Structure 1
């Protein structure tokens, strides 16, 4: 039943997802309502919601535009379900903003397979990743994905290898200019964030621990499914799926080494996992298995969301 609802992209699907986002977002926010007395905090909450919506439609655009999914609504629904695992994301501006800029970069890197305007795409992707790193420093690791994309598509032109460094100089210059205008120490800003912390003992309660454990199990299922069945996918999207797998493991690395660790940092892994989950459902031969995957995932996401309220 669920698979039939999202089997085709329709205005009804998008409307349903938008409504669900609003419902779950406000369910989380009304736990503590002191923010309603401050215009600034109200504006901040609205900005969070805008970035969440923008990320949803950007994910959908990336998947549809690059042929990673057929004309269905699986991607946006999976993205919603994975978000519900970690409702704290709804109140984490740095992670929300950084993830949005990473998505802008991924949009350019995935489309690099067309070989059109490759230099502009490499520069743009590097630029957005470096902007994201100002909000969450270790997002800078996503530059690895830029070089992986260069290797896959345009490695013979040496100028493509230089472009990420030019983007670095551009972002560094802008950042230094901003630091001078607002009078803060740029070096100290970076030094405080360029810290490696491999500890995973941040859980505030058993429900956060449970959400993390269930998410890891779900992620392993879809990653293994992708790796085992990649050869069954159309040849034209093989490289895009390989970049998606690399994207996922880089996101895991960002989570593992970041200081001030929380489940919210797993947001960076949700987009590649969404792509892999959509692919799994799309290419699965048995409809019953798809229904089971959807219902199990819905139950897990709802349980983890409400248990953390």
Structure 2
């Protein structure tokens, strides 16, 4: 039923997915209603919901515009299911904002295959990655993807290699101005974020542990199967799929390196896994198998979500 419903890219599908996101977002917020007592926190929560919804439509836009999937709405649906599986993501402001800016960067990097205005795309992608790193420092890893994209498409023009550094200085100037206006200690701000930790004993309850184990299994399934079929992709699309694979690996790298980690840090892998999962489902010939996998993913995520309320 679910696979059949989202097998087409229809407006009603995106309305349903958006309503699903909004419903579970506010349902999770009912755990603590203290945020309703102040106008500022109400505005903040509403703003985060708008950013999440924007992220959802960016997933849809990037996937459809760059031909990363067929004409269906699996990718945004799987993206929302992952948010339900890890509900702590819904209240992590820095991670939500950082992921949103990374999606803006990925939108530009993946579209570089068209070779239209590559310099502007390199600058935009670098700029958004540096902005994302202000909210979560290890997003800086995605700068490697900028240089990988340059290698794939426009490596012969030496000016393209300089552009990311121009974007860095642009963000640095804006950042320093903001720090001075807000009267913060610049070094303390940077030092606080430039930390590494390999401590994975952060689980607050057994459901978070189970969710990570389940997500890891799904990730291995989606990632390994799509890596194996990469060579069978059209030649003009292989660079785009390679970027998706690198995006997943860098997302895992952020999770591994981050200090004070929790499951919400896995959000950086949601988009690439949504694309890889969509391609996996599209490659299945039997309808009942698609329904079983998608239904099982949804059912398990619902159980984990309700267990954490």
**TM-score, normalised relative to structure 2:** 0.98
Q: d(CA) in 2 for partners of 1:307 and 1:238?
A: 40
CA RMSD of aligned residues (A): 1.0
How many correspondences in the alignment? Answer: 309
2:135 pairs with 1:135? yes
What is the CA-CA distance between 1:259 and the residue it aligns to? 0.7
Match of 2:3 in 1: 3
After TM superposition, the structure 1 = structure 2 runs for residues 168-187 of structure 1, keeping only pairs within 5 Å, are 168-187=168-187
Aligned to 1:151: 151
- What are the equivalent positions in structure 2 for 1:190-205 lying under 5 Å apart? 190-205=190-205
Distance in 2 separating the partners of 1:237 and 1:47: 35
- Residue in 1 that maps onto 2:121: 121
1:227 aligns with 227
User: How far off is 1:216 after superposition?
Assistant: 0.6
| Whole-Å separation in 1 of the counterparts to 2:270 and 2:304 | 15
Alpha-carbon offset, residue 257 of structure 1 = 0.5
Deviation string, structure 1 residues 127-154 (Cα, Å, up to 9, x no partner): 0000000000110111011111111111
User: Could you tell me how far 1:97 is from its partner in structure 2?
Assistant: 0.4
**Runs (5+) with no aligned partner, structure 1:** none
How far 1:192 sits from its partner (Å)?
1.2
TM-score (norm. length: structure 1):
0.98
Q: CA offset at residue 233 of structure 1?
A: 2.7
Contact kept, 8 Å, 1:138 with 1:254, in 2: the verdict is yes
Unaligned runs of 5+ residues in structure 2 are none
Is 1:74 paired with 2:80? no
Partner Cα distance (2:262, 2:126) in 1: 26
Find the counterpart in structure 2 of residue 36 from structure 1: 36
In structure 2, the residue matched to 1:289 is: 289
Which residues in structure 2 correspond to 1:84-99 (within 5 Å)? 84-99=84-99
Looking at structure 2, the residues matched to 271 and 132 of structure 1 have their Cα atoms a distance apart, in angstroms, of: 15
Task: Give distance in 1, aligned partners of 2:231 and 2:307.
Answer: 39
Q: Note the alpha carbon deviations across 1:181-214, whole angstroms, 9 max, x for none.
A: 1111112201111111111111111111111111
Task: Tell me the alpha carbon deviations over residues 231-255 of structure 1, each in whole angstroms, 9 at most, x when there is no partner.
Answer: 3333322111111000000010001
